[in-house]
Structures are given as C-alpha cells and as structure tokens.
Amino acid sequence: MRNKIAFFLLMSAVAVLAALAVDLPVLRALHGVTVHENDAYRMFRVMGFLPGWLLVALAFGLLDAPRLRRMWMMAAGVILSGAAGEVLKLAFRRQRPTTLDCLYQYVPWHGLSTAGLSLPSTHVIVAFGGAWVLCRLHPRGWPVWVALATGCAVTRVISRAHFVSDCVAAALVSYAVVWLVNRWWTPRAPSE
C-alpha cells in the first residue's frame, strides 16, 4: 500500500512539474483566441457544477434504495473534492492568468474569499471528483467519465480562467480525495 501511495505522489509531482512547464506557452498560444460558448463548450463546462453532481447522487439514491452507498459516495466525492479545492486555493493564493508578462502572481491574505484565485481549479476538481467516483462505481465507462472531466479542464484553460497546472493539480487532488472516500465506504473483512 505504501509503495502505491509513494508511486502516486511521485507521478503527481512529475505531472504537476510538466504542467508548470507548459503553463506560459499555453497561455501565450491562447492569447487572442475567442471562446465561442457553443453547446459542446457548455456541456463540458457544467461538468464542474457541483449541484449537477448532487443530482447524479440523488439519482443513485433513487435507484439504490435501500442501499445508498453509491449516492453517498458520489455526494461525498464531489463535495469533499470541492472543499479541498477551496482550502487549497486559500493556501496557495495564486491569481488567475491575467497577463502574458509574468507567469504567476500571488495575492496577499485578505480573508476567506477565493475570488480571483486559481490553484487548483474548483470546477475541474469537482468534475474529476465526479468522474473518479464513476470510475470506481462503473469502471468500464472510465474513458467517458475521464473525457467529460478533461473537457471541463479544457474549457477552463481555453477561457484563460486557469493555467494547465491548476487543472492537473485539481485532477490529482480529487483522485486522492475519492480514493480516501472509497476506502472509507468500502466494506472490509473483519480483522483476525
């Protein structure tokens, strides 16, 4: 178990470092790009909308009564992922991409507001929180679940609301949160 956690942490560090390396080139490449908010854009964008995932959790509850494990797992996965994102934004205090002149700007402490902060993307962390729960509950659908959450990340980057690293960090943090939620909710054999 410790080896798997160490491997996840190592690969997460590599992924975040790679994302940091492309943040500025991607931001510059998107300069002047106009985002046309068509139906596909909106579909992917709303994957990061928490109430949408809570409706999915409610649907699981209606399907699974009296066993409500899937409902609670979905609700906990997206709520705790979103909460982790908000706490991390307060800790990192990195501002949204606003200029092409410098890579990152950090905001001094000004209370519990996360307005204008970017690391990690809360929309993406919620989208991936829901996707990772669905991957646990319905693993054969993983390409669809991950594609939907990745689409949300793409909308956040192309609209220049987030850096690539904000989205990569969000996906990784939500994976860890959902892993913990799954461990808590998965029945275990009694220890001998």
DSSP string, 169-185: HHHHHHHHHHHHHHHHH
Decide if 176 is inside a domain. Answer: yes
The pLDDT assigned to 188 comes to 62
Decide if 191 is inside a domain. Answer: no
Decide if 22 is inside a domain. Answer: yes
How is residue 139 annotated by DSSP? G
CA distances from 65 to 72, 74, 114, 187 (A): 12, 15, 37, 18
Decide if 192 is inside a domain. Answer: no
- Structurally, the chain folds into a number of domains equal to 1
pTM for this prediction? 0.86
Low-confidence ranges of the chain (pLDDT < 50): 192
Helix (H/G/I), strand (E/B), else coil: 95: strand
Domain that holds residue 27: 2-185
Q: Which amino acid is residue 116, in one-letter code?
A: G
Which CATH number belongs to the domain containing residue 25 in this structure? 1.20.144
For 158-190, what is each residue's pLDDT tens digit? Answer: 988 899 999 999 999 999 999 999 888 776 655
Decide if 169 is inside a domain. Answer: yes
